[in-house]
Structure 1
Amino acid sequence: MPAIAWLAAQPIYPRIYWKGRDTEEEVAAVGSCKDFAYEEAVDDNQLSLEYQKQRALSNNQDIRYYGGVAFDRTTECWPEFGRAHFVLPRIELRRSGEEYKLLINLNCESNDTETERTKAIEDLAKLVFPSPLSPPNKINLLSRSDRPDHYHWTELVKKVTHEKFIQDTPKVVLSRLTQLEVDEEVDPWTLLACWQGRNQNSFQFGFQFSPERAFISCTPERLYRRRQRELFTEALAGTTTRGLNQEEDRVLAQQLLEDSKNSHENQLVKEHIVDALTPLSNYVGAEETPRVFKLSHIQHLHRSIRAELKPGIDDFQLLQALHPTPAVGGLPKEPAMSFIRQREGYARGWYAGACGYFNKYESEFAVAIRSALIEPGRINLFAGAGIVSGSEPEAEWVELENKLTTILSILTEL
């Protein structure tokens, strides 16, 4: 039985799913043993202290906090998700290859051991025997709206590429919210499972803090992976479509490698990440030339980056330094973020945020770029494009459509 089917059957919230991009590990978790969430403004020092406190509670390498931080922690975010929200699950089913673990967490910091044991047994008693995910049904789409719409998108791209603006801010990643109104309930876990089947070489995760909302993502982009002091990250920027056959696919990939606009965009992202990691590291190394990273409907330019962190550097410092990356925000970070806040026209929330898990020994975070927020009667989809010198509004609009191709094709086939 797939872990995602086990998760979908459970009546306990929150429900959390995580599967790494290049590992066999799969996680399904329910309930909350301990959580920390910030709906209002996040004080970075407060968040750092809370993070350090949680890490210090146990040396058990199996303990993991799952969650995320919003794209922009200074602005209003979605209900329940907040600007940052991390959960130590009560019950966690973790699969690695053919091996399964059932982990039960007890919060003996806030409650006495006997009380916690009783709560855990009560939650275990609520678990439901899983059944296969329901066969997907085609969704009846009532309407679609885009924010910004085509006209305002064109105006925004023109503003960013104006010579006076781009001289000081060479890159802004503009995004679009596509809202689909539907007349029936959408099961987020069936949708994620279908998406998972199309893009297996992606991070796949979902957070459902209540029955009302679920955020799911099938994203190619790693923010970073840390094992003790060894860190792996990447520059993923520059996009083209996939070919209809092997030869056309090869030609498109070669054109992407040779395209000056996309190569420049990827180079900017690589340089920023290296610069951000240098003060935190004894060593930082990056691939000199990009490679092509292929997904089901599009392909990206990709560079691997590795660092050896200085002693004492923690995940919160890494999140501060790397998130949001120039691949989802822009360069320089602050003027690009300011433009997005003022002009984009909607709250990104956890779209383009950092989602993953951490403990004392390891952590992994992905950038939630291919993602959807499922609400009653509505599916919210997100896509973005890096705007640099030479960007054309119509070409970038087509890129947004290309990035939604996989999820839209699933929804129209359901």
Structure 2
Amino acid sequence: MPFDQAIEQLRDRLAQIADTVPGMRQICVNFSPDTDALNWLASQRCWPQFYWQSRCGEQSVAACGAVERYYSMAQATRHLGQLPSGWRLFGANSIDGDSYLFLPVLLWQQDSDGQRLILNLISDISVQQEAQRLLRWLDELRPMEPAAQLPHYHRAHHAPDKDGWLQQVNQALKAITGGDLDKVVLARVTDFSLSGPISPAALLAASQRINPRCYHFMLATEPQQALVGSSPERLYARRGREMDTEALAGTADLDQPGLLDDAKNQWENSLVVADIHQRLTDIVDEMAVMPVELVPLRHLQHLRRRISARLLQADDAQCVARLQPTAAVGGLPRAAALDFIHQHEPFDRGWYSGSVGYLSQDESEFNVVLRCAQTGGEQIRLYAGAGIVSGSDPELEWQEVERKAATLGTLLTAENQG
């Protein structure tokens, strides 16, 4: 069934709802892939909008409109227990504890079972009345428009600039030498002034094409404001009580040999593994750490150790609180590293280094918000960071954030605009 017919079938099934009592309904219609989900989402004029693709590419979702919104993981997980099994919430969590999660009105979901449209309906008064409102809401959906072209940037401003970065890294190394820190992850923002308005969906679509083995995500809470990114790192995935997480730390150029044997990068990775083990030890009854492996990306390669565990309780709010921010994006000890970050970084991280994904009663998955940007009209802010440990070279760490920022930044150069 083509997409347009699937929408019509949703209308037909909504029109048949006659119950005048409170309740919940979920209508699901299967259809054939004849439309691009991300481009369709960009054509809509209803918010919030959310797009997420798993790292392996086998699962993707596009959601728009909110039945309900939640501003903490605790609030979201409490309400999730009142929803039917299988209903999903989507959104993001910051490292400061704020969240933006929502139950979508309309969800486009693709996985190994095919593609389907899912419409969620909740009413405290009359299910029929809400069904009539949603029929009018569906009437406001727009046909898919041609994909937008990306602008290029006129000016770029780093914060901190290179001199400030080198000074900041040296301050971090001094704190590490003095025993105050084992590791701290410092970040940089780059603010671009663009030649025209930027489409978050167009930016993400371009990133999907050139950044393999990444999660791809977009969260637009209102017009002209969106988080966009392509991240290689999983925070965790949960199926029932079985959880998979990972230590992704240790970085080198893609063509640089010997990363597996590099003492500094091995040490950085081992710090993250030990931290994850310590954070999870009292909420799991089993844990296993896999051997180290290389993860090659477009510009860089990373060290990764996969970690599996069996939770005592399937509690997503607890999982996020324990794991976020990981030592790979914050540092160690956690409190001291975050205090150093708040004192020295000349900007607010926002969603950067937090997590984005989905949760349900049965399963959940969140990736770490890395290699990302915040878009707004003709402005865009890119985020990138580097882990500082004993032996870090400030100049090399600057080169690392340059390469990480290039994940999205190279898409805005005049050379890539044809």
Pair in the same fold by TM > 0.5: yes
Equivalent position amino acid for 1:345 in 2: P
- Measure the CA separation in 1 of the matches of 2:314 and 2:176: 39
Q: CA deviation at 1:142?
A: 2.2
Please say if 1:21 is aligned against 2:55: yes
Where does residue 217 of structure 1 map in the other structure?
Answer: 229
Where does residue 171 of structure 1 map in the other structure?
Answer: 183
- Measure the CA separation in 2 of the matches of 1:34 and 1:200: 33
Instruction: Judge conservation of contact 1:65–1:89 (CA < 8 Å) in 2.
Output: yes
Q: CA deviation at 1:115?
A: 2.7
Q: 1:342 to 1:155 in 2, by over 3 A?
A: same
Gaps of 5+ in 1: 39-46, 74-82, 244-251
Q: 1:349 to 1:400 in 2, by over 3 A?
A: same
Equivalent position amino acid for 2:407 in 1: T
Please say if 1:57 is aligned against 2:82: yes
Equivalent position amino acid for 2:384 in 1: A
- Measure the CA separation in 1 of the matches of 2:170 and 2:36: 47
Q: CA deviation at 1:165?
A: 5.0
Where does residue 206 of structure 2 map in the other structure?
Answer: 194
TM-score normalised over the length of structure 1: 0.89
* Residues 110-149 of structure 1 mapped to structure 2, 5 A cutoff: 110-134=124-148, 136-137=149-150, 139-149=151-161
Q: CA deviation at 1:51?
A: 2.7
Where does residue 109 of structure 2 map in the other structure?
Answer: 94
Moved more, 170-179 or 398-407: 398-407
Where does residue 285 of structure 1 map in the other structure?
Answer: 288
Where does residue 242 of structure 1 map in the other structure?
Answer: 254
Where does residue 376 of structure 1 map in the other structure?
Answer: 377
Q: 1:150 to 1:410 in 2, by over 3 A?
A: same
Instruction: Judge conservation of contact 1:148–1:345 (CA < 8 Å) in 2.
Output: yes
Where does residue 299 of structure 2 map in the other structure?
Answer: 297
Where does residue 268 of structure 1 map in the other structure?
Answer: 271
* Residues 317-336 of structure 1 mapped to structure 2, 5 A cutoff: 317-336=318-337
- Measure the CA separation in 1 of the matches of 2:55 and 2:305: 16
Where does residue 80 of structure 1 map in the other structure?
Answer: none
- Measure the CA separation in 2 of the matches of 1:391 and 1:123: 54
Tell me the SS of whatever aligns to 1:186: coil
- Measure the CA separation in 2 of the matches of 1:123 and 1:19: 26
Tell me the SS of whatever aligns to 2:391: coil
- Measure the CA separation in 2 of the matches of 1:404 and 1:146: 11
TM-score normalised over the length of structure 2: 0.88
Where does residue 314 of structure 1 map in the other structure?
Answer: 315
Instruction: Judge conservation of contact 2:40–2:143 (CA < 8 Å) in 1.
Output: yes
**Please, what is the CA RMSD of the aligned residues?**
1.6
Instruction: Judge conservation of contact 1:274–1:286 (CA < 8 Å) in 2.
Output: no
Q: CA deviation at 1:409?
A: 1.8
- Measure the CA separation in 1 of the matches of 2:321 and 2:113: 36
Instruction: Judge conservation of contact 2:358–2:364 (CA < 8 Å) in 1.
Output: yes
Tell me the SS of whatever aligns to 1:317: helix
Gaps of 5+ in 2: 1-34
Instruction: Judge conservation of contact 1:354–1:366 (CA < 8 Å) in 2.
Output: yes
Tell me the SS of whatever aligns to 1:180: strand
Q: CA deviation at 1:377?
A: 2.1
Give per-residue Cα distances to partners, 1:266-316, cap 9 Å, x unaligned. 0000111111111110101102x4110011111100100000111x34000
Q: 1:111 to 1:12 in 2, by over 3 A?
A: farther
Residue in structure 1 matching 2:169, options 132, 144, 157: 157
* Residues 381-400 of structure 1 mapped to structure 2, 5 A cutoff: 381-400=382-401
Tell me the SS of whatever aligns to 1:162: helix
Q: CA deviation at 1:55?
A: 1.5
Give per-residue Cα distances to partners, 1:54-74, cap 9 Å, x unaligned. 12112331x11101111223x
Give per-residue Cα distances to partners, 1:127-149, cap 9 Å, x unaligned. 12224423x34x34221111111
Q: How many pairs does the alignment contain?
A: 381
Give per-residue Cα distances to partners, 1:133-179, cap 9 Å, x unaligned. 23x34x34221111111111111111111166552311000000110
Instruction: Judge conservation of contact 2:77–2:316 (CA < 8 Å) in 1.
Output: no
Instruction: Judge conservation of contact 2:176–2:389 (CA < 8 Å) in 1.
Output: no
Residue in structure 1 matching 2:259, options 244, 252, 256: 256
- Measure the CA separation in 1 of the matches of 2:215 and 2:39: 18
Query: Which has the higher Rg, Structure 1 or Structure 2?
Result: 2
Moved more, 365-374 or 95-104: 95-104
- Measure the CA separation in 1 of the matches of 2:338 and 2:130: 43
- Measure the CA separation in 1 of the matches of 2:125 and 2:61: 26
- Measure the CA separation in 2 of the matches of 1:209 and 1:114: 28
Instruction: Judge conservation of contact 2:76–2:101 (CA < 8 Å) in 1.
Output: no
Where does residue 409 of structure 2 map in the other structure?
Answer: 408
